[in-house]
Chains A and B, each alone.
Chain A
Amino acid sequence: MSKACCLLALFLLCTCVLAQSGALAPEHEQRYYSLLDELRCLVCQNQTIAESDADLAKDLRDEVKKMLQAGATDSEITEFMVNRYGDFVLYRPPVKPRTWLLWFGPLVFLVIALVALTLVVRKHKRAGSVALTEDEQAKVDSILSRPEE
């Protein structure tokens, strides 16, 4: 009997703790985790605020949670963060003149590489088609006409 009471008390305690931690509604939960994965923790700069143990990351997670519960959209939440911490908080920086080099730089390098490659290949082809002098031609002919050993 006392065992059953104990279990019941434990169960009630657990549900209380869960309720107090302000668990998110299921429809918010997915957005919550995807937002956390998009936001950088500024204290430990190579972690998202989902991964980071820093105090600030915890505060920002709480802030995201509160805003979700208040009915904010994803873009409102990221805008809130950008207004305070700058584009650096975003793992995917927005495309704008300042970030053009970042976004399109690799493409530019690819184009440069392709152009260089084409030029080199063409040069080689042209070099290969240079006509032989008479002496050289005679030498080639003599080698080619040599019977196989």
Chain B
Amino acid sequence: MNKLKSREELTALRDVCQKAFAAEKKKILVCGGTGCVAGGSLDIFARLKQLLEDKNIPVDVELADEPHGDAVGMKKSGCHGFCEMGPLVRIEPQGWLYTKVKLDDCEEIIEKTIVGGEMIERLVYKQNGEVFPKQDEIPFYKKQTRVVLESCGHINASSIREYIALGGYSALEKCLFDITSEDILNEVTKSNLRGRGGGGFAAGKKWASCAAQKETPKYVVCNGDEGDPGAFMDRSIMEGDPHRLLEGMMIAGIAVGSSEGYIYVRAEYPLAVERLRTAIAQAEELGILGDNILGTDKSFHIHINRGAGAFVCGEGSALTASIEGKRGMPRVKPPRTVEHGLFEKPTNLNNVETYANVPMIITKGADWFRGIGPENSPGTKAFALTGTIQNTGLIEVPMGTTLREVIFDIGGGMRGGTKFKAVQIGGPSGGCLTEKDLDVPLDFDSLKSVGAMIGSGGLVVMDDKTCMVEVARFFMNFTQNESCGKCVPCREGTKRMLEILERITAGKGEDGDIELLEELADTISNTALCGLGKTAASPVVSTIKNFRSEYEAHIYDKRCPAGACSKLKRFVIDPEKCKGCSKCARNCPVNAISGQVRSPFKIDQDKCIKCGACVSNCAFGAVSEEA
């Protein structure tokens, strides 16, 4: 394909793409996100395509130059978000969503739905006996506002032509030809877009301060090192709508005066890397990315760096060090990244979702953006909803939506009818919120006031079978592993905290442990070098605050109220049920069970290692865990 050399040529291409897009009346969108791919969606895509071809029905994978009205569009889309129900297949123009599709369903989908125009009831979503054929009507989607994820699941994720057909790169066009970089900065500042990566720093302020730096060259860096366990919003954007991210970065480049961009992607996201590489190649081929964009004097190049598995690289200065080929260790700030970032040069660093918001702000205006969500945290936020909840998946809601709406309306409540206990928000840097916090609006400032943070947006819901001390231990174990070792408070402090938590969950907690944890937490958060260390103790602090009695039960009663800590389990033999067969005693690896044959046996709790061998070996169900 020829490079586009002017605005007019882009407009002409958009025209062609739009016509072709509109001509594709019937469309099958198979989810190609990591989740559905794991469920076999690629095989489903291949089978559906094959079946169409066998029937001599023309198939369009890419938008054609010359639309032919009767072709069926077959698209591998980005993540639809409803990962729990995957693999997902969306049917257009009806807007039906088929869930949990299997290879065996393909024939029926082509026969009945594509040829016959009939809905297959077996495959559509049902909740409480009600049938929801249309995607938009499913409660999970109905309450969402999809802005950043607007096209995720609705377009072919590897097609620049579809992105252009839906108005893609028109924001870039506006920035190149209609407005100045000053205007861009003003618009982003006015929109009050706050960084989606965690801290919520105003993007406009950061951009302006990078633009004001005299030193050159400058760099635009995108943080796609989404390391928080339980978060996958950025992955879904990179996989499902990669051009939106590229466009956002290019606009940032024009605004701050940079022509080099770097995207740092987690090593665990191979599909995201692949889709980004394809997107970059496509944009370069069209002359939208590279030297002399659309015939102007502006240039922009984007490089991809794959992470190598270090959580701390999500921190700005560690991330830039990692791109430079060094160990990813944070450094003392100031100077800040905007002054001394990548290669010691001024650098604008934002995360994926932040950049992905930019094109819409430019095309629709700051006022439109401010119309969504509360005054001080406008816009929407994508969350990864996971844990022991009915509907796991990727969601996007206006900032200020309450946790209750997210968990019970969108998430469909608890899985298997268990009781809601807590929700962990903000990953290892965030905190646990409980029943009483359910009506707290999800925005930067409200969450801070209750001791949590939005973080990158992972929401892990936990039920009453989850032990909060164990959760605190889990996060501390994570942070301890990921501590880079540069500063003492984080390196040594997290280790000591982990040791204490391990002791408590093993039933060896002592009086004073809670106070010691609190003291360590206070010291670490006040003295650690970077954000990872400063927030390392947050999960411990917030679980102590909300679940102190659980800590006390572990320490003083040697009991785990949730029954989750295996070392605190007590196995007992019911003398009524025990037939005295001695099988449990023979299978006990530590000879903790004794007794006379044909009379009830007993377990010596001091010797027992809680392996559970007796439970699985008893033919009479006489051995059980003490409640």
Chains A and B come from one and the same complex: no
